[in-house]
Amino acid sequence: MKKFSIIAAVVLAAIMGSCTNGTPKADLKNDVDTLSYAFGMAQTQGLKEYLTMRMDVDTTYIDEFINGLNEAANAGDNKKKAAYYAGLQIGQQISQQMIKGINYEIFGDDSTRTISLKNFMAGFVSGTTGKNGLMTVEEASQTAQTMIQSVKAKVMEEKYGDWKKQCEEYMANIAKKEGIKELGDGVYYEVITEGKGAIPSDTSRVSVNYEGKLLNDTIFDSSYKRNEPAKFRCNQVIPGWTKALTNMPVGSTWMVYIPQEQAYGDRDTGKISPFSCLIFKIELLGIE
């Protein structure tokens, strides 16, 4: 999970600090006046895009932005007001960026679900003030990193539970099929052609042709369609592939059946839904 950045807030504060008192009309009586106006105008380059794209400000309410801008700029060295305005800026970033980003990370495109803003703010305030914390900041970081995976897994289970069940049933039936052999950890294979060459180690760089399919026969990747063998080290692929390649003599062609635990698990890769078992035709051409 990405850490919060206050760079945007600092940039905006710098812009605010350069503005003049109130909303006066320009009165350029001398070089300093002209320079002051030019500085103010120059600081707004890209500001509208920044407000709309980065801060989600609706320019229909630009007058409200100007009111806040003037109030903050005129605060001068008033540290109490400066702290309040900084809180407003960071609070907006929490609302418009952080919460949305975390929700997308956990719940994907499901806009009906969200983390608890109340508890998020309780943790944020405790971490900022150093008071009434239920855990240290370091513990919180570790907890967030650990729990986001378990929460995401539960969310994916709810969404793709039926698909997961279908894949599990398919793998259970494959295990009973005649001619099927087991490699361990639920990975199975069927020999199409038995090669007589060397068997790669997990650090070997190999050249292979392959075609990958889902349970519903959708082909999600194929080196045959690209007319170019794939080349990589055996330990640079999903675990099910590594297990197959490190038991496969050069010259072999196998059908390999990989359960989701040895593939992409609860991850959504776009073409491959969470909990997908994968079916590969793998042709080991050589070891480089």
Q: What is the CATH number of the domain that holds 227?
A: 3.10.50.40
Domain interval for residue 186 = 162-287
Domain-ending residue, one of 89, 115, 134: 134
Q: Is the pTM of this model over 0.85?
A: no
Distance CA 225, CA 281 (A): 13
Any idea what the Cα angle at residue 131 is, between residues 126 and 137, rounded to 5°?
55
Q: Do residue 128 and residue 178 come from a single domain?
A: no
The answer to whether residue 2 sits within a structural domain is no
Residue 275, phi-psi category: left (phi > 0), alpha (psi -120 to 50), beta (remainder) = left
Q: Do residue 98 and residue 217 come from a single domain?
A: no
The answer to whether residue 151 sits within a structural domain is no
pLDDT tens digits, residue range 63-100? 888 888 888 877 778 888 888 888 888 888 888 888 88
For tokens 């800026």, the residue is: 89
The answer to whether residue 174 sits within a structural domain is yes
Q: What string of DSSP letters covers 231-276?
A: EEEGGGS-HHHHHHHTT--TT-EEEEEE-GGGTTTT---SSS-TT-
Q: Do residue 117 and residue 58 come from a single domain?
A: yes
The answer to whether residue 188 sits within a structural domain is yes
Domain-ending residue, one of 134, 154, 180: 134
Q: How many domains does the chain have?
A: 2
Distance CA 230, CA 241 (A): 13
Q: Do residue 109 and residue 44 come from a single domain?
A: yes
Q: Do residue 172 and residue 126 come from a single domain?
A: no
pLDDT tens digits, residue range 235-270? 999 999 999 999 999 999 999 999 999 999 988 888
